Amino acid sequence: MLKQVRLLWRCVRLLSVVLWGFGAVLILFPRIGHKHRIEIKRLWSRWMLSACGLRLVVQAANDGSCAPEKGELVAMNHVSFIDILALDSLRPVHFVAKSEIRTWPVIGTLCERTGTIFIERRRRHAVHNILEKMSDELRDGEVVAFFPEGTTSEGHALLPFHANLFEAAVRAPAPIRPVLLRYRQRGKPCRIPAFIGEMSLVDCAFAVLRSSAIEVHMQVLDPISSEGLSRHELATRVRAAMLACLEGS
């Protein structure tokens, strides 16, 4: 009974926050400046986490950074749809996402209007076009983020990295900011938010909404300079830094 009440309450809250965000991007965004759009996106992401019953725990990098800095390319492991909300609640960024998301009702519009960079993986020149867009944003001082694993995992280990999109940092040039995400429930590793296998987005969302005491642990690592490195060398260094952090926790 408690789980059903929790689920109903969170569904109502989540729906209201999603609709608020939809209204904001359609009505407010065309009328306000970039700085205010970033603040609205940050606030909306925090409300989304709260509506899902999630608590964000952030561990700062050795350099004291608790969030990505301007002009950095963020490389983050991918576990759940929550990953993007967690990072945006700290510092809204331009995420690189598959083009299929653009067709999702409401969510597609939200992503498109808030600066998501869509990649059409079936198109031959898609990666070249995306790299140009990413490097332009980085040169303008924007923060761009992507998932080098290319797919989701349970979050307890790292999948092999795809090096292609690291090229944006080489071209800009821009530093890479590794960010490591893990999910915990009552102090133990938690796979409930993992969006894997044949699970649908709705199934994943309901699993999270039914649960309690889930924490999103985000560890911000020190930036890695791209100067003098190839995309493959960058990918290797970033993955090694994230693995060291994962294995040391």
Tell me the three state secondary structure of residue 60. coil
The number of helix segments (H) and strand segments (E) in the chain equals 8, 8
Residue type, 43: L
Q: What is the rounded distance in angstroms from the CA atom of residue 3 to the CA atom of residue 60?
A: 34
pLDDT attached to residue 124: 62
What is the average pLDDT across 145-150?
Answer: 95
* pLDDT tens profile 148-172: 999 999 888 899 999 999 999 999 9
Domains and their CATH numbers in the chain: 2-247 (3.40.1130)
Residues 6+ apart with CB under 8 A from 184: 190, 214, 215, 217
CB 201 within 8 A of CB 105: no
- From the list 81, 114, 224, the residue with the least C-alpha distance to 161 is 224
Please state whether the peptide bond connecting residue 173 to the residue before it is cis, i.e. omega within 30 degrees of 0.
Answer: yes
Q: Which residues contact 101 (CB under 8 A, 6 or more apart)?
A: 107, 108, 111, 116, 118
Cα distances (Å, whole numbers) of residue 41 to 69, 192, 227, 238: 17, 25, 31, 27
> Mean pLDDT throughout 106-113?
84
pTM, 2 dp? 0.93
Kindly state the average pLDDT of the residues 90-111. 86
What are 25-29's contacts with CB under 8 Å, separation 24+? 25/109, 25/110, 25/113, 25/114, 26/109, 26/113, 29/113, 29/114
Cα 211 from Cα 152, distance rounded (Å) = 20
pLDDT by residue (tens digit) across 50-90?
999 999 999 999 989 999 999 999 999 999 999 999 999 99
Q: What's the pLDDT band for 103 if we cut at 50, 70, 90?
A: confident
pLDDT of residue 125 exceeding 80, the answer is no
Q: Is 80 exceeded by the pLDDT of residue 198? A: no
Q: How far apart, in Å, are the Cα atoms of 113 and each of 29, 199, 210, 234?
A: 8, 27, 30, 30
Q: Which amino acid is at 128?
A: H
Given a cut of 70, whether residue 122 has pLDDT beyond it is no
**Which residues does residue 217 pair with via DSSP β-bridges, in sequence order?**
57, 182
Most confident of 98-102, 127-131, 173-177: 173-177
* Amino acid at residue number 45: S
Is residue 244's pLDDT more than 80?
yes
